[in-house]
């Protein structure tokens, strides 16, 4: 629970006014997390594991703000009471996958990694003005991300090894914020204060390199890498925003 008071005195053309704001709010928070892991060995050189974790959380609060304006004689000029009740809920899920393959040659190795993440968030609030319904809003958002990566090392004789691999990232985020105004009978959607976002970002990359072992612990490594990022976004007022790839 939080309480606050703010008093401000203003003087305009020799006339003083006194503005007072009183806040009274009650907040609540809660959440939890759990996870699990599964490992399996096909043989002494081949292993894979899966790990899952999840988190849930919620918080909210309600309270009012009383605003009063007094003149120099402490007579009431204006009074307003605004009450807000808001709630925020979120949950996230993550899955990690790892596959490892080793060979007779200890340098030779294959590793495959993948991760999937989902994050869901919902925010709500409703407000009253002087005990009369005023406005409300809801914002539903979802973030998704998929990562995968492959790395392989191949020895070419005793002094040379070849490394190559690739990765990909698929990201997306959506947010649907809707604002409602009370029209005296019910809550009607206010398009001017509502918004929408649909965002996608995809990354693709690959690499290849050679390492040459030289005498006296020296070595030479040469290779190349390519990466491209592709982005698209849509807003309420813009169907296809112009965002350059790179």
pLDDT, mean of residues 11-38: 90
3-state secondary structure of 45: coil
Judge contact between 82 and 135, C-beta under 8 A. Answer: no
How much is the pLDDT for 126?
93
- What's the pLDDT tens digit per position in 88-136? 999 999 999 999 999 999 999 999 999 999 999 999 999 999 988 999 9
Average pLDDT value for the chain: 92
pLDDT, mean of residues 197-201: 94
Token pair, residue 22, equals 């009183």
pLDDT, mean of residues 10-33: 89
Of the pLDDT bands very low, low, confident and very high (cuts 50, 70, 90), residue 151 is: very high
Which residues lie below 8 Å from residue 117, measured CB to CB, with a gap of 6+? 92, 93, 94, 143, 144, 145, 146
Which residues lie below 8 Å from residue 106, measured CB to CB, with a gap of 6+? none
How much is the pLDDT for 245?
87
Of the pLDDT bands very low, low, confident and very high (cuts 50, 70, 90), residue 74 is: confident
For residues 22 and 6, give the distance between their C-alpha atoms in angstroms, rounded to a whole number: 7
How much is the pLDDT for 148?
96
Of the pLDDT bands very low, low, confident and very high (cuts 50, 70, 90), residue 237 is: confident
- What's the pLDDT tens digit per position in 48-59? 999 999 999 999
Q: What are phi and psi of 193, to 5 degrees?
A: -105, 5
How much is the pLDDT for 241?
79
Judge contact between 95 and 116, C-beta under 8 A. Answer: yes
How much is the pLDDT for 236?
79
How much is the pLDDT for 238?
74
pTM of the model: 0.78
How far is it between the farthest Cα atoms of the chain? 96
pLDDT at 185 over 90: no
């Amino acid at each position: 629970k939080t309480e606050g008071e703010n008093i401000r005195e203003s003087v305009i053309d020799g006339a003083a006014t006194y503005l007072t704001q009183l806040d009274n709010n009650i907040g609540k928070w809660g959440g939890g997390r759990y996870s699990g892991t599964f490992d399996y060995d096909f043989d002494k050189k081949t292993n894979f594991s899966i790990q899952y974790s999840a988190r849930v959380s919620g918080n909210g609060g309600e309270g009012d703000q009383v605003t009063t304006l007094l003149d120099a004689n402490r007579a009431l000029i204006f009074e307003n009471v605004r009450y807000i009740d808001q709630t925020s809920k979120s949950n996230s899920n993550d899955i990690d996958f790892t596959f490892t393959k080793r060979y007779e040659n200890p340098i030779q190795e294959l590793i495959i990694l993948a991760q999937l993440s989902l994050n869901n968030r919902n925010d709500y609030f409703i407000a009253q003005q002087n005990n009369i319904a005023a406005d409300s809003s809801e914002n539903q958002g979802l973030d998704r991300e998929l990562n995968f990566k492959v790395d392989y090392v191949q020895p070419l004789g005793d002094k040379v090894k070849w490394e190559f691999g690739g990765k990909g990232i698929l990201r997306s985020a959506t947010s649907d914020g809707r604002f409602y105004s009370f029209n005296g009978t019910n809550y009607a959607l206010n398009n001017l204060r509502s918004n929408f976002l649909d965002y996608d970002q995809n990354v693709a990359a690959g690499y290849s390199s050679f390492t040459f072992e030289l005498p006296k612990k020296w070595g030479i490594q040469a290779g190349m890498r390519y990466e491209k990022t592709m982005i698209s976004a849509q807003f309420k007022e813009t169907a296809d925003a112009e965002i350059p790839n790179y």
